[in-house]
Amino acid sequence: MIPVTHMLIFSMILFGIGVTGVLIRRNALIMLMSLELMMNAANINLIVFARQLDSLAGQVFAIFVMCVAASEVAIGLAIVAALFKNKETIQIDHLNDLKG
């Protein structure tokens, strides 16, 4: 098996790509997809340490993370739908109504 450090580096790069997507994209849908990438990176870490420590707690928590990710996507996409209905756009930087 390959060392844990390599898997950690990989999942960290995946997380970094997700952070980059949230920071630099203007499309709300792409931002939600990047959030999914970040959740997956966290999940990979949990699975890696579940194998490293030979403990099932990591796998169980990965299931909980997936549960949270699914509800987050459902709510997030509902918010995007409501935004589009009211504003006719999902470009994040057009949604600055609260700016003073």
Q: Which residue among 42, 50, 96, 99 contacts other proteins (CB under 8 A)? A: 50
> Which residues are CB-contacts of 51 (< 8 A; sequence separation ≥ 6)?
1, 58
Q: Which is closer to other proteins, CB of 3 or CB of 100?
A: 3
Number of residues that bind other proteins (CB under 8 A): 70
Q: What angle do CA 88, 79, 76 make, to 5 degrees?
A: 130
Task: Name the amino acid, one letter, at 43.
Answer: N
In angstroms, give the least distance from the CB of 77 to other proteins: 5
Within a 10 A sphere around the Cβ of 96, how many other Cβ atoms? 7
Q: Which residue among 54, 96, 99, 100 contacts other proteins (CB under 8 A)? A: 54
Structure tokens belonging to residue 70: 């699914």
Give the up-direction half-sphere exposure of residue 81: CA atoms within 13 A in the CB hemisphere.
6
Q: Which residues bind other proteins (CB under 8 A)?
A: 1-10, 12-14, 16-21, 23-27, 29-30, 32-34, 36-37, 40, 43-44, 47-48, 50-52, 54-57, 59-60, 62-64, 66-75, 77-82, 84, 89-93
